[in-house]
Every structure is written in structure tokens, then in C-alpha cells.
Chain A
Amino acid sequence: MEEKLTREEVLHVANLARIKLTEEEIEKYQVELKKLLNDVEKINEVKGYDDEILIACWEDNTKLRKDEEGVMLDPKKALENAPSHIGNYIEVPVVIGESEGA
């Protein structure tokens, strides 16, 4: 039998990405996401793998930037690609109570 994720696992990931899936898509991703995970698992077979390589695969450390102000966008320009705006605020559909950030 083909290896696949459970329906619930796929729906959970879809929910985190805030996307809706059709029945066909759910079945498709049960197989495809599992394949993808299996591919990622292969990284564990690399000898001497150290996950620090994920952080920086070159030797230079971060160069810090001076705390000096640069050129900012004209607010009109900043709003140009927004789907909609009221005054200078970008306007989006309300998503209450889900703020995850800081």
C-alpha cells in the first residue's frame, strides 16, 4: 500500500496555512506531503550532519548595520500594492482573535 498521511494531518496543515482543500486535494496531499517528508528524512543519512549548517553554511558571521536612518517609502508608494486602503491604513478582512505574533 502507498504510504500516506492521515486526512487529519493534511487538514491540520491546511488549517495552519489558512487554505481550503477539496476532497480530491486532500487525497492528493495525503500522498504527496508524505513523499516530501520522506525526502526530507534523507538528510538524517548524511554522515557527520550538524544542523548548524542550516543556520549558516558559510564561515562569515553576521555583519551588523549602523543604527542610522535611511530612505523610507513615500506612504502612497507603500500603499500601492495593498488590496485596499482607508486613508493611510491598509485594509484587510477582519481575522479577530488569531494574532499569533509578538
Chain B
Amino acid sequence: MTNYIPTIGIEVHVELKTKTKIFSNSKNGYGQMANSLTNVVDLGYPGTLPTLNEEVINLAIRAATVLNCKIRKQMHFDRKNYFYPDNPKNYQITQARTPIGYDGYVEINVGGTPKKIYIEEMHIEEDTCKSAHRGDKTLLDFNRAGVPLIEIVTKPCISSGEEAKAYLEKLRETLFYSDISDCKIEEGSMRADANVSIREKEEEPFRTKVEIKNIGSISNVGLSIEKEIERQKKLYENHETFKEQTRRFDDKLQDTVLMRVKETGNDYRYFPEPDIPFVVITDEMIEHAKEKIPMLPDERRKVYGEKGLLEANANKLIQNRSLSDFFNTLLEENIDFKIASNILLGDVSAYLNKEEKSITDTTLTKERFIELVKTYSDGTISSKNLKEMLDSIMESDKSIKDIMQEQGIENISDDAELKQIIHNIILENQESVTDFKNGHDRALKYLMGQVMKETKGKANPRIANEILLEELK
């Protein structure tokens, strides 16, 4: 079989996290009663005029910044004309000629190889109303009409489904951490379409492309691209040609199916939106948008690595924004960060998942957590103690010391007392001592077990272990 080179470009729509819509002051909300978040502008009544939301421009500048785009200082909007019930004005207000951002990139890493995915342009537009098909009827909900979107378009520089997935994951975490969008694919606040074509040689011009629309998850983007590449290969192998078309990913079939053969770009008859004059972006606006950018995931990965965290743990922390933000408040402290991350990702996460809470909904403060990490690091409490104390740690504002007292958790850290106990155990278990000296590590565990038994689990494990090793010399 001939070796084909895939060429993939991705378009992503992201809903911006504003309070109100892009061109009207009705609420930008999700999951509310149908048609309850509208006004005459959203419904496209004649004679209404759009008023541009300043926060949309602010978030779009921020998005352009974090995606390493150049920012256009003067721009305008255009009308994209089409007839469809999702848009009663019969045009969508978008930016065809002067996208706010252009020439950007994000860096991905697939299988250890870094690659830049280049962004052609990023523009602002309004979302349409949401339509649902029921038999021979279509139901319309205008709550989504006029929700601000940015559309991010890559250059055709992606070469596999894996790269597409990595790009989308990077895009999602970057925009989410910058507070630009909540990027929930399942709620439609982030939507991806992919353009796929294949050819035999790099020198050859691009062949017919196929657009895959409405893909419901990042992993399905990867899968649908791989399936589409295979489909096109088979067609070329059989010397068949095909028209430019739009397909969608069918979850049940796990494959793409034809939606329609495309109208061409000219059919949209774009022209400048006469109701919105030029928008001028000043340096002050750019500075203002940049001020609010928190530490982004790549930077967090770097810092966490420097603090000694394993890459996998750093990534797990970053997947949970509130845990990662909490961890960031500790960075200047003198604590064992590995232990701190283990507690957060272990017991604390288990508690949060069980209670369906975020760490900010609990009583765990930075100060109490530092006390907890220190108490654990020096062996004053064991992991078993930590589990027993967890509910009180997360639900009360008592100090760790007070919780220990209250629950009768007192560990024997007194060297002299432990020394005496361990000394006796060694005398009574000479056989195990011999085993240990002959290199049987299991014997050490057995002896530690005896220490715990003797102290009813109250021996400070770290100190007991040290004394035991000392005595065995």
C-alpha cells in the first residue's frame, strides 16, 4: 500500500466566561430553562442594534496572548450570511477579515518529541441558538444565541490523530487555567472540527479535504481523524475520487458518516458589519488583559519538577485546578513537597471525591496543611493516623495537635522509651536478628511489627525504624 501523508487542521470554538452575551446584556448561562436568557437582540428582532461587551475583548486579548498570537490593533466585524433557523437574523456576526489574533502557536509533546502547532488566526464571533431535532420538528433554545465565542484555527500542520489530541488537551488546559472559558466539551463550551486530507508526497498540492464536525470528546477527535485517514486511503487505493464534504463522528458506529457536500465559502457573502464601527485595541487594554493571567500549566510543571515532584504527580495536580492552586500557595514554605503532594493526591483527593467537594469547600487552610505535612514528615503521625484524622482535618478548624489529642493519637517519639522496648524485642527474637544479619529483609519488617504490637501501634514509625536499625548493628 502507498504511504500517504495526512494533513490536518483543527478549528476550535470556545465559549467565553463572561457574565453577559457578546452583543446584548442578557445573561450568559448554561443549563437554565429554555428561552429564559434572551432579549430582543438575541432573538434578532428588526431594528435592534448590537453593543459589544468589553469583557469579550478583554478575554479574547488574553486568549491571543496565551496562544502566542500577534494582536490586531484595529479590527472590525463581518456578517456571514446564511439561512437556517438557528439564526433568525440570517447572518452571524463574526470576524472574517480582521481576526483579533494571528500567527500564534502552542507547544505539544507526543511520545517525547516536542512540536509547535501553529495557529493561523483566532477570531471573535457570536454563538447561534441551540437546536435539537425531534422527528419532523426542530426545537430552538435561544439561551445560547449571542454567547461569545472565540474560534481558533490552526495551520494545516497536524499530522496524526495523536497530535490532534495533544493539541486539544493543551489548548483546553491553557484556556481553562487562564480563566477564559470553562472548556467543557460535554456541555458544548469547547467544540472541535477537524479538516483532514491525505497526499502521497510533500511536494504534491493538497488534495480534497473533508471536514469532521461536532466531535463530542477529545479522544474521539483522535479516533475520528484516524478513521477518516483510513477511509480516504481506501478510496485512493481503489482509484476513486470524492467531493469536499462535511462528515460527523457517530458514537455508535465509531466512524465518520456523511452530513452534506459543502457550500463554498463565497456563498456566505461576507461583508463588513455596518452596525459596529472599528474596534481599537490600546496598549492599556493589552496590559490589563495580561495582568490576570495566572501561572499556566507548563510553568507549574516546571516548578513542581524543581520541588521534586514526579512528572505523573505534577500532571495529576494540574488536572485538578483547585488542588494545584492550593499547592501553589505552599511553594515558598519549607516543607517536604513530595509528601505534601502525596497527601493532597492521596487521602485529601479521596475525601474530596467521596464528598464531591472542592478543596476550597473544606476547612483545610494553608496553615493547618503545613502543620499536617510537618507532623507527618517527622513521623509524629503515621499514614494510618492520617486516615483516622482526615474527617476532622477537612471539616473542623482545630489544629492537627488538638485533633491528635482529641482522638487519643499519641505516638511514642521518646527515644529512651522506644529504645528500651526495642532492646527487649531484640532479646526475645534472636532468630529474626540472625535472619536479618543473613540478608533477609523480611526479618526487619517482622521486628517492626513486634515493636508496633508492643506499643499498640503508637510508636513513631520513623524513629522506631532508626533505633531498630541502630540496635541491630
Contact = CB atoms under 8 A, between A and B. Distances in A.
Contacts of B27: 69, 72
B234 interface: no
A95 B132 CA distance: 11
Interface stretch (B120-128, B204-212, B312-320): B120-128
A99 interface: yes
B278 A71 contact: no
A97 B139 contact: no
Interface residues of A, number: 41
A102 B84 CA distance: 12
Contacts of A78: 35-36, 38, 43, 142
Given A73-B40, A89-B139, A100 B76 contact: no
Contact of A88 (B35, B84, B138): B35
Contacts of A68: 19-20, 25
A71 B27 CA distance: 9
A48 interface: no
Contacts of B86: 99, 101
Interface in A13-63: 16-18, 51, 54-56, 58, 60-62
Interface string B364-384: 000000000000000000000
A72 B38 contact: yes
A56 B53 CA distance: 19
Q: Tell me what chain A mostly uses at the interface: helix, strand, loop, or mixed.
A: loop
A95 B138 contact: yes
Contacts of A58: 277
A80 B70 CA distance: 45
A75 B87 contact: no
A22 to B, nearest CB: 20
A100 B263 contact: yes
Interface in A84-101: 86-101
Given A75-B33, A100-B82, A62 B277 contact: yes
Given A69-B19, A94-B133, A89 B39 contact: no
A89 B277 contact: no
A25 B186 CA distance: 47
Interface residues of B, number: 67
Q: Which 8 interchain pairs have the tightest Cβ spacing?
A: A70-B25, A64-B54, A67-B55, A56-B277, A101-B128, A89-B139, A88-B34, A100-B82
B360 interface: no
B138 to A, nearest CB: 5
A88 B18 CA distance: 24
A64 B133 CA distance: 36
A99 to B, nearest CB: 6
A55 B272 contact: yes
B35 A55 contact: no
A89 B84 contact: no
Contacts of B54: 64-67
A79 interface: yes
A71 B276 contact: no
A37 to B, nearest CB: 13
Nearest to B148: A67
A71 B52 contact: no
Given A51-B272, A69-B25, A70-B20, 20 more contacts: A16-B269, A62-B278, A64-B53, A64-B54, A65-B54, A67-B18, A67-B19, A78-B35, A88-B35, A90-B35, A90-B139, A91-B139, A93-B137, A94-B136, A96-B133, A99-B131, A101-B82, A101-B92, A102-B13, A102-B127
A55 B36 contact: no
B37 A62 contact: no
B417 interface: no
B33 A88 contact: yes
Contact of A90 (B13, B53, B87, B140): B140
Interface string B135-149: 111111110000001
B294 interface: no
